Structure 1
Amino acid sequence: MRREGEAVEYHAATPVLELHGAETEAYLQALSDEVPSLYVVMREAGGGPQPYEVLKVTASPYEAQDYTDSGNELVEKVPMPHGLVAWIREFIEAHHQDEVFVKRKRDKKRIDLVEDGIGDARIAKPGDIYASPTLKRRRLQ
């Protein structure tokens, strides 16, 4: 689009920003940053006038982190326009549901009292639980 010194501005794509109701926690995280931002996921293009192709634009920092973990894509943080911040905030207000923290409770059942699978069922005495069974030998007459 324009060149200013060593900086070059490209119009790489016009991607669609999709928001999902299950991801509102991530969007809240993005809006709580000092500068609310979108994340542009790009991959090197194989030749051509543009060095990168745009794969995705997301408002979720968690999804952006997943793309950076692979190392194959380049993820750039781009400040959100004010109108987009308002739109995402409205989406969050309409779809966000706080998840209630439920602490896991342990059973009172004692599982260490039963020794299932220890020893051999052919051993009669409990004291010989780790003994090897002996074969009964018949006398040949």
Structure 2
Amino acid sequence: MSMDAPTFRVGVVVERRPSKSPWVDHAWRIVAIIPEAIGTEPGHVLGHDGEAVLLYAGARSVEFHRVETGNYRDNLTSGSPGLWVTLALTDEEPGIRLISVTADPAEGESLTEIGDLMVEIAPMPPEIAERLAAFVETHHVERVFTKRKRQ
């Protein structure tokens, strides 16, 4: 783990429900961001709630980068800090694959432009928000915008 990019792993829990749409079989929703469940395979069924199935989607690393502290600060001060979770729909069980998890709103928004991916914002757990706030406090440098004049 370098000073520039502290990394830690998080697990993602999703809910799969039968869809009422004629175009898709299931509707998906992020239920929780949890500590990585080491030894738990992606797709592991965690429980049922009526027709809904709770599944462990897997774990991914979340990295903090010094050059993104402005974006992290904006995320933290937004009133509802989030993590952008990217999933790919698949034809194989359980029907999704976890791609990434990021605290950078700009990175998360850029992933929404890729057609076949599903990007959802999940509430940021308090312990991650605390780590992110400490990282921003340590590494943020305010960059002043200077408009260049033509010669």
TM-score where L is the length of structure 2:
0.66
Q: Would you say 1:30 and 2:75 are equivalent positions?
A: yes
Q: Deviations over 1:7-65 (max 9, x none)?
A: 322111111111111111111121122211101111012312x1110010000111111
Aligned residues: 106
Distance in 2, matches of 1:91 and 1:101, equals 23
Q: Deviations over 1:69-97 (max 9, x none)?
A: 12221001111111111100001111111
Give the CA deviation at 1:101: 1.4
Larger strand percent: 2
Larger helix percent: 1
Give the CA deviation at 1:105: 1.8
Paired position in structure 2 for 1:3: 48
What value does the CA root-mean-square deviation take over the aligned residues?
Answer: 1.2
Equivalent AA in structure 2 for residue 10 of structure 1: L
Specify every segment of 5 or more residues in structure 2 that has no aligned partner in the other structure, as ranges.
Answer: 1-45
Paired position in structure 2 for 1:39: 84
Identity of aligned residues (%): 34
SS, match of residue 2 in structure 1: strand
TM-score where L is the length of structure 1:
0.70
Q: Would you say 1:102 and 2:146 are equivalent positions?
A: yes
Distance in 2, matches of 1:84 and 1:92, equals 12
Bigger-Rg structure (1/2): 1
Distance in 2, matches of 1:5 and 1:47, equals 23
